[in-house]
Amino acid sequence: MTQNKLAMVSGANGHLGNNLVRFLISQGIPVRASVRDINNKACFSGLDCEVVQADITDKASFVKALQGVETFYAVAASFKLWAKDPKKEIYEVNMEGTKLTIEAAAEAGVKRIVYVSSIASLDYRKLPTKESYGYNTDRRDMYYNSKNDGEKLAFQLAKELGIELVSILPSAMIGGAAFLPLNVSYNILKLILNKQIPVDTKITLNWIDVKDVAEGCWLAAEKGRNGERYILANPECMSITATTKLAQNAYPALEIKVPGAVPKFVLFAIAGIMELSAKMSAKPPLLTRKDIAMFSGLQQNFDISKAQKELGFNPKSPEKAVREALAYLMAHPALLK
């Protein structure tokens, strides 16, 4: 791949999208950044890139935006774990978006797609999880389902349409440049600093610096094998409670308390109350019964040797990623409001 050919990043005002735009610019690659709302451009201030409007549910907008593009980084998606109508707002949007943007890329003559999937599409039944173990068998979450089915659809369409496609599977991205609203992962660190996590949920996350994922996307474009998937994560996960202890040690003046453990039935009861409150306020609940059922006690450990060997992926440790992300939030107090 040549570095002076135009690259396009969709969802470029999102957390990964914006940090990917910044990384590509640093590599001297000309970048076109697509956003759904053209008025939402504050995160591009000072960046040397072209910003265009394109919506993943509008194929014509992508055919136009992708003209002259060699590498398309398909980042845009509905990334949320809660919605009033999850099938319609998450699953259908992501499936349609995958179909339309890949068809548009083929029509526009794009050479290569880096498709942003997720560790949500991995089979966790055997640890450490590898790409070769296949897809997630847990069908309880519409975001997870959209990532499983969307990635399969992406590979199928790319093969049918004769376009190269490599899939990357990032874990919980934190760090790097951030803007409100914070993504799901970064928001957990915000909750910790704001002392808003009441109990130990025994939920773990596989923290990864978004800048490492951005570089991994570029490495996938440069070195990834067509039709392959690559995990962009750390080998081991960290519990929210361990993350809280790290924050407590880093910022003793905040007097952050480590949440205590409660029986699982109490967790379900707390989550149920939060869901009821969310229905009345139309704001996402801090915790849902599905979160407890799916993620409490789930270990998210990965074998990243494929990405290391084939791409040269070399992420910083989860502890370092968390410390740097916490420092960023502390240095930008507006993000903690």
Q: Within 13 A of 185's CA, how many CA atoms are on the CB side?
A: 26
Q: State percent of the chain over pLDDT 70.
A: 99
Range of the domain at 153: 7-179+207-235+301-317
pLDDT of res. 84 = 82
Mean pLDDT of 288-314: 95
Q: Which residue has the higher pLDDT, 81 or 37?
A: 37
Structure tokens at 219: 């490495």
Give me the residue label for tokens 């880093």. Answer: 250
CATH number at residue 13: 3.40.50.720
Global pTM value:
0.95
Mean pLDDT of 159-167: 98
pLDDT(267) > 70:
yes
CA-wise closest residue to 123 among 111, 139, 110: 139
Is residue 187 included in any domain, yes or no? no
Is residue 185 included in any domain, yes or no? no
Is residue 131 included in any domain, yes or no? yes
pLDDT(2) > 60:
no
Across the chain, mean pLDDT equals 95
pLDDT of res. 210 = 98
Is residue 333 included in any domain, yes or no? no
Mean pLDDT of 278-283: 85
Is residue 328 included in any domain, yes or no? no
Mean pLDDT of 24-39: 96
Give me the residue label for tokens 């409100």. Answer: 180
Banded model confidence at residue 40, pLDDT cuts 50, 70, 90: confident
Is residue 196 included in any domain, yes or no? no
pLDDT of res. 1 = 41
- What is the tally of structural domains in the chain? 1
Query: pLDDT for 60-88, tens place per residue?
Result: 999 999 999 999 999 999 887 778 888 99
Banded model confidence at residue 4, pLDDT cuts 50, 70, 90: low
Is residue 116 included in any domain, yes or no? yes
pLDDT of res. 280 = 86
Mean pLDDT of 146-168: 97
Lowest mean pLDDT among 67-71, 128-132, 280-284, 331-335: 280-284
Is residue 330 included in any domain, yes or no? no
